[in-house]
Chain A
């Protein structure tokens, strides 16, 4: 057992402040992704409503926006926002800020599209039945339309949230030190002493990501169950 711990590099974890640094790196990941997720959900809902408008101008703008997000790899967006802004307009912001901008830009578009889909999937007879029962508009929305929209939205948006969390290691490329980068630093600093540390460290990273994403999935399935009745 002792040999296994040393061979797979788990011992490296507990040298010095390594483990705390790894957790610190994970916190950077979480901070950036959760801020972006929160902003994306708020802005995405607004965008989703705007997307259902019949106004050709808003439709065209939304369309262009959505297509840009779809065709651009996040890495390219990160480079454009972080390095491009400095080159073009001399703006210098912190890499973390650039990361939040990019992830929100991406999340808002996808969330908007999900909200649009969910809203449009509520059949007309739901509205008509509500009106026939004598409900006014706000009653219809709050007791009929919105609950159904949220229920349809939930699995899709959870998918988006976990995807956003899992995409954050990309921010290493704009010089943010997050969990995977800390892991690489630790692996390299112990390259001679524990050549197999990579396995142990990336296993721990796996556990950390799992610990973050699993509760989100649990919450989602709990809510789905609760709302299905």
Chain B
């Protein structure tokens, strides 16, 4: 190969020799390579900036275009008819968030979100293709049309609602506080000045308590298991986390009670589609409303969540027909 190329391009046999760099013409050439280096750097910078600018422009263009040409078939998302025609729907779910979306020991997707996803595909009359998604990728996946729907414990926030279209909610989330059963904390005012509350760094619980109750001392841990160990060793009087998490914890470990099952603003979890995909969005909304007749999400809860949370929290967590109680 080398031989072939070198013949073809008339390369001198001594091209690999460093000595040829020392002839006068080579020295001129070396000066030139400095220029090239500079040129290369400049070009690279321009390219990077160009790609970045292109990306942000495309986002803006997307937003404008999708509203203008929502009926044309060259949109990034697939409309309801296109999904039906193709015979399969791509739904982004978590594959490692038991019990909402996880993979069981036989390799099958399971969980509260997955149960609903299967029903959507069934009623659309198409096959379901699950895409294992990461929390940070959910918005991006929708915006680039990699999935048709995201059903991955997706909490509705104002910021996200500007980037994707949320359908009606199907679940409630709030913060919760768990404490030892013999010293149950039912109100944050019971926490004294010397007491500490355990939180996991970066969670909504940490952000909420720092903003709204700055007088409470927080002990922060990086992982779930560190926080758990610290709490069980009495490092704090209570542990604040998503209410689903603390409820599940109190249910599996004896001697602990969820004194505050709801703290802070009520958030909801809803399916999301690509911004502008109205045909699919309307279909999902209608579906969620009509599923209330058969109490679908209560059935979903009993199939998937009851082992983790027990019957007591069913009404608290489930949203039926998109109506928040």
Residues of A within 8 A of B (CB): 15-18, 21, 45-46, 49-50, 52-54, 56, 59-60, 63-64, 67-68, 71-72, 80, 82-84, 86-88, 90, 92, 119-124, 127, 131, 137-138, 140-142, 145-146, 172-175, 177, 181-182, 184-189, 191-192, 195
Query: Nearest chain-A residue to B47 (Cβ)?
Result: A68
Residues of B within 8 A of A (CB): 1-3, 5-7, 9, 11, 13-19, 29, 32-33, 36-37, 39-41, 43-44, 47-48, 51, 54-55, 58-59, 62, 74, 76, 92, 95-98, 102-107, 131-134, 137, 140-141, 143-146, 225, 228, 248, 252, 308
List of 5 A-B pairs having minimum Cβ-Cβ separation, nearest first: A16-B105, A124-B17, A86-B144, A188-B96, A63-B40
Please name 27 pairs of A and B residues whose Cβ atoms are closer than 8 Å in the assembled complex, sorted by A.
A16-B107, A17-B107, A46-B5, A49-B5, A49-B6, A53-B9, A54-B11, A54-B29, A59-B36, A60-B36, A60-B40, A63-B37, A80-B51, A83-B140, A88-B54, A127-B16, A131-B13, A138-B3, A173-B134, A175-B132, A175-B137, A177-B132, A181-B96, A185-B102, A188-B97, A192-B252, A195-B225
For B131, the chain A residues whose CB sits under 8 A away are 175
Query: Nearest chain-B residue to A48 (Cβ)?
Result: B2
A84-B55, A141-B2, A181-B132 known; A189+B103 contact, CB < 8 A:
yes
Give complex CA distance A45, B102 in Å: 44
Check A137–B1 contact: CB distance below 8 A: no
Least Cβ–Cβ distance between B114 and chain A, in angstroms: 12
Check A90–B76 contact: CB distance below 8 A: yes
For B104, the chain A residues whose CB sits under 8 A away are 16, 189
Check B105–A122 contact: CB distance below 8 A: no
Check A92–B13 contact: CB distance below 8 A: no
User: Which among A54, A67, A121, A174 is the interface contact of B40 at CB below 8 angstroms?
Assistant: A67
Give complex CA distance A60, B36 in Å: 6
Sample of 8 further A-B pairs with CB below 8 A, known A86-B145, A138-B3: A49-B1, A60-B36, A60-B40, A87-B62, A124-B16, A141-B3, A175-B137, A189-B102
For B6, the chain A residues whose CB sits under 8 A away are 49
Check B58–A88 contact: CB distance below 8 A: yes
Give complex CA distance A92, B98 in Å: 30
Least Cβ–Cβ distance between B142 and chain A, in angstroms: 11
Check A52–B15 contact: CB distance below 8 A: yes
Check A21–B107 contact: CB distance below 8 A: yes
Give complex CA distance A56, B95 in Å: 51
Least Cβ–Cβ distance between B108 and chain A, in angstroms: 9
Which of B17, B19, B51, B145 has the largest count of A CB atoms less than 10 A from its CB?
B17
Give complex CA distance A175, B240 in Å: 31
For B15, the chain A residues whose CB sits under 8 A away are 52, 54
Give complex CA distance A181, B97 in Å: 12
Check A60–B3 contact: CB distance below 8 A: no
Give complex CA distance A120, B9 in Å: 17
Query: Nearest chain-A residue to B225 (Cβ)?
Result: A195
Query: Nearest chain-A residue to B106 (Cβ)?
Result: A16
For A174, the chain B residues whose CB sits under 8 A away are 137
A56-B32, A87-B143 known; A120+B18 contact, CB < 8 A:
yes
For B145, the chain A residues whose CB sits under 8 A away are 86, 92
Give complex CA distance A181, B76 in Å: 28
Check B3–A84 contact: CB distance below 8 A: no
For A64, the chain B residues whose CB sits under 8 A away are 40, 43-44, 47
For A17, the chain B residues whose CB sits under 8 A away are 105-107
User: Which among B14, B39, B44, B106 is the interface contact of A71 at CB below 8 angstroms?
Assistant: B44
Check B105–A15 contact: CB distance below 8 A: yes
For A88, the chain B residues whose CB sits under 8 A away are 54-55, 58
Query: Nearest chain-A residue to B224 (Cβ)?
Result: A191
Give complex CA distance A191, B9 in Å: 63
Give complex CA distance A88, B137 in Å: 18
Least Cβ–Cβ distance between B109 and chain A, in angstroms: 10
Least Cβ–Cβ distance between A1 and chain B, in angstroms: 23
For A124, the chain B residues whose CB sits under 8 A away are 14, 16-17, 19
Check A18–B1 contact: CB distance below 8 A: no
User: Which among A49, A181, A195 is the interface contact of B95 at CB below 8 angstroms?
Assistant: A181
For A173, the chain B residues whose CB sits under 8 A away are 134, 137
Give complex CA distance A22, B3 in Å: 45
Least Cβ–Cβ distance between B264 and chain A, in angstroms: 24
